[in-house]
Structure 1
Amino acid sequence: MLLLAVAAAPLLTSGVSVLGPTLRSELNLSRAQFGLFAVVIFSVAAAVSVPLGKLSDRISHKTGLVLNFTLAFAALMVLATATSAAGFIASAVVGGAALGMSNPLTNRMVNVLAHPAHRGRIVATKQVGVQVAQVISALIYPMVAGLLNWRAGPGIGAFLVVVALGVILAWLLPRSLFPAKDGSSLHPVGDEIRASPRFGMIVLTLYAVLSGIIYQAAFLTLPLFAHEVFALTPGAAALTGAVLGAAGLVSRLAWGTMSDKRQNAASALLLVAGLTSISLLLLVLAAMYTAGWALWAGTVLYGVSGTAVTVVLTSTILLHFPPARIGRVSGVVALGTFAGFAFGPMLFGFMVDSAGYPVAWTALAVCAALAGCLIVVTRARASGGTGTPGT
């Protein structure tokens, strides 16, 4: 159920990605207009994450799920009926609201419904919904576009969203024994979950901004980088994205299990993720001067680490903040992630155009180092403090 809720909104973003050339041709989009889609959708998601996070703390899970799927359905239908750049950007606005709703809502549901010892794995499983949406879009949208037209792709995506909501309301929701609207937990944990300065909202949000910049810039740029620098064919270059996604799918599940087993070491997991991201960026940079194998090694390494950051961040929120604040805290951290998503590729592209790929990849490595420094400084302050453990 949670996986479906997370997968709904990415059916739009993944669909725009795989239908990119067709959309540019059919809607007469300039490169700037097409690139504006990512800026708009992630900026809107960042802007609405906090208010929708607060809303998810107040409404029932059923209402939240209906709202989540309705926004995703509306975004796909706006794209399917678009006839110009205005309609294309309008779908990004609605899609941004859908993205901003899903994470706080599903995080609160995990907190209320799941036993603390299993939350990391459940969070990892729900986040795999993003990869599921990518696979569905990549397999179905181009095929139906060839058989019918490009509008059939997002149209089928909208149909799948309705089917998923129907399955949830008719079968999964009644079987899940959802609590009352007041949000009372099936597994009360009392003081086991409390706000901890070590994992304060500011630190988590800044970490989310930096990791979001790195991930989205790498995800969108690796295929182009492989094509331009290593002269790979577009199809071969696109495999970098596939490798990154496949490694990320497996690693999210593995990191979710580690989060369950190392609940008191979430900062260490975030530190490892940051340092491993540096390794990717340095390997990619080295590939320009050595051999192509370093590019693939770096891509796999980042897929194993960088894509798992969301899982560890969410597990940390669920462990260290009270149930009544999960939605709003998730919204604030999601704001940081989406802000990084919105501006990371644009800043990276500006650096490539003005100074070249080596400077751009080095800048991402600096972002990863800063993310690691955030955790190091926070851990040092915690161990040197005079308060109770965990402060």
Structure 2
Amino acid sequence: MAPTEDRRPPGILLFVLIAAMAAGPVLNYGLSALSPQIIETYDITEGQYGLIITIVFLIAGLSATVLGALSDRMPVRLQLTLVFGLMAVAFLVSISAPTYAALLTAAVIAGPAQAVSNPVTNRIIASEVPLARRGMWMGLKQSGVQFGLLFCGLTVPIVGKALGWTGVGLMFAVICGVMLVIAWFVVTRMTQASTPTPVPRPAAATESDGAPSRRLPAAVWLLTVCSFLNAVGTQGVNAYASLFAVQTVDYPIELAGTMLAVMGVIGIVARILWGRVTGRLGRPAVLIQLMSLGGILAMVCLIVVEHWQVTALLWTGITGHALFPLAANVVINSGVVALTPAGRVGIASGLVASGMYLGFALGPVLVGSGIDLTGDYTPGWSALAVCYLACIIVGMVLVRLRRPTDQS
């Protein structure tokens, strides 16, 4: 069911959606903001640090399709409980012992929480938000990831310097617990007040005998590939940006954290703006190509920084990263919601999320392995640029696929 076009969903619901998207990646962002201290405290290499992030996303990627399919039938409150509850447990486990194994265990627990966040929030938007408002809500909802990055950049270096990772873990465990209570209350009120009336959505495809097709549109599969390739690039940068700044241009950890916060602010604005553009133009493939090109240029900037220490280009590269590929997820998810038949949004979102999380898992491995093998970031940044180039090519295929209906 979908809402009537004159219905205005409550603002507190949007707050819950933003928080759900922010909760999933805060373990990764928290570790990233404190990465130099984590590496020193736990006596691990850059590659071992990257493995923590990789495990989170590998587990998320492997579970996203199943959880996405269940999302179409599982109660919304239960799914939000998984998001906030599992993240609270993950943080508590991460501080249960001062060992690398505790961090790896927390990563395993955090994976499913990240996997379910996108399908459940997409499902809520599809069922509760009128079509005319979906572009804006999708942009704001997806910006939750960047709100998490902003919050980590501002708070984690300070809390971590004073109280170590234990203080950071306790802070986030409490926040996730509070958000669980708020989400439960909001969704309960929403369920009691909801009397939705259907509005037009993409019609379900049918087989030759007239039965509804269980196949997803080809565009969803292509968007999944785009999601994977874009995620390799974005998470490769997210995981190592702070460490890169410390090791390459001698930034103190507080300034490196501030850089992450700035990246978060730019990402929030970018996702909101791109959400509005997508809602008006309805051409995700073209926008994905543009954003991938921005990612390539950002990687070129970071490579120049490493070899010539041009600090201004560090900020240029980080800004381009936040403005373009880091915001591509809102375009991809808007395309999924717009192109998927009713009743299949959850599984389609889960599929695209699976591609995204597997890409997130690969990104830190590419960059971290390059550092461990060569001592340089350039091989990793170059590999990410190749992924963005491949994403442009897939976007071209998507344009050709959608051209007959003029809905690229």
**Which has the higher mean CA deviation after the structures are superposed, 323-332 or 152-161?**
152-161
Structure 1 contact 207–371 (Cα < 8 Å) conserved: yes
Structure 1 residues 159 and 359: alpha-carbon distance in aligned structure 2, compared to 1, 3 A threshold: closer
Structure 1 contact 201–329 (Cα < 8 Å) conserved: yes
Task: Return 5+ residue gaps in structure 2 as ranges.
Answer: 1-15, 206-212
Structure 1 contact 142–153 (Cα < 8 Å) conserved: no
Q: Distance in 1 between matches of 2:34 and 2:286?
A: 40
Alignment of 1:316-355 (within 5 A): 316-352=335-371, 353-354=373-374
Matched, 1:366 2:386: yes
Partner of 1:14: 29
Per the TM alignment, residue 211 of structure 1 is displaced from its structure 2 partner at its CA by 0.6
SS at match of 2:344: helix
Identical counterparts, % of pairs: 28
Structure 2 contact 33–256 (Cα < 8 Å) conserved: no
Partner of 1:220: 239
Letter in 2 for 1:342: A
Cα offsets for 1:284-305 (capped at 9, x unmatched): 3445459443332232122111
Structure 2 contact 65–347 (Cα < 8 Å) conserved: yes
Matched, 1:176 2:190: yes
Cα offsets for 1:96-132 (capped at 9, x unmatched): 1111111111111111111112112112212222233
Q: Aligned to 2:176, which of 161, 178, 188?
A: 161
Matched, 1:280 2:298: yes
Q: Distance in 1 between matches of 2:384 and 2:44?
A: 29
Per the TM alignment, residue 325 of structure 1 is displaced from its structure 2 partner at its CA by 1.1
Partner of 2:264: 245
Structure 1 residues 224 and 285: alpha-carbon distance in aligned structure 2, compared to 1, 3 A threshold: same
**Which has the higher mean CA deviation after the structures are superposed, 324-333 or 59-68?**
59-68
Structure 1 contact 193–320 (Cα < 8 Å) conserved: no
Structure 1 contact 255–311 (Cα < 8 Å) conserved: yes
Per the TM alignment, residue 48 of structure 1 is displaced from its structure 2 partner at its CA by 0.7
TM-score scaled by length of structure 1: 0.86
Structure 2 contact 92–169 (Cα < 8 Å) conserved: yes
SS at match of 1:323: coil
RMSD of aligned residue pairs (Cα, Å): 3.1
Q: Aligned to 2:398, which of 364, 378, 384?
A: 378
SS at match of 2:324: helix
**Which has the higher mean CA deviation after the structures are superposed, 139-148 or 310-319?**
139-148
Per the TM alignment, residue 359 of structure 1 is displaced from its structure 2 partner at its CA by 4.3
Cα offsets for 1:331-371 (capped at 9, x unmatched): 11111111111111221233354495444433322221111
Partner of 1:57: 72
Q: Distance in 2 between matches of 1:295 and 1:31?
A: 20
Structure 2 contact 288–328 (Cα < 8 Å) conserved: yes
Cα offsets for 1:220-251 (capped at 9, x unmatched): 33344444444555554555433322211110
Q: Distance in 1 between matches of 2:296 and 2:94?
A: 37
Structure 2 contact 64–116 (Cα < 8 Å) conserved: yes
Partner of 2:131: 116
Q: Distance in 2 between matches of 1:286 and 1:145?
A: 31
How many residues in Structure 1 have an aligned counterpart in Structure 2?
Answer: 383
**Which has the higher mean CA deviation after the structures are superposed, 306-315 or 322-331?**
322-331
Q: Distance in 2 between matches of 1:232 and 1:94?
A: 32
Q: Distance in 2 between matches of 1:167 and 1:363?
A: 42
Task: Return 5+ residue gaps in structure 1 as ranges.
Answer: none
Structure 1 residues 45 and 185: alpha-carbon distance in aligned structure 2, compared to 1, 3 A threshold: farther
Structure 1 residues 88 and 350: alpha-carbon distance in aligned structure 2, compared to 1, 3 A threshold: closer
Structure 1 residues 6 and 290: alpha-carbon distance in aligned structure 2, compared to 1, 3 A threshold: closer
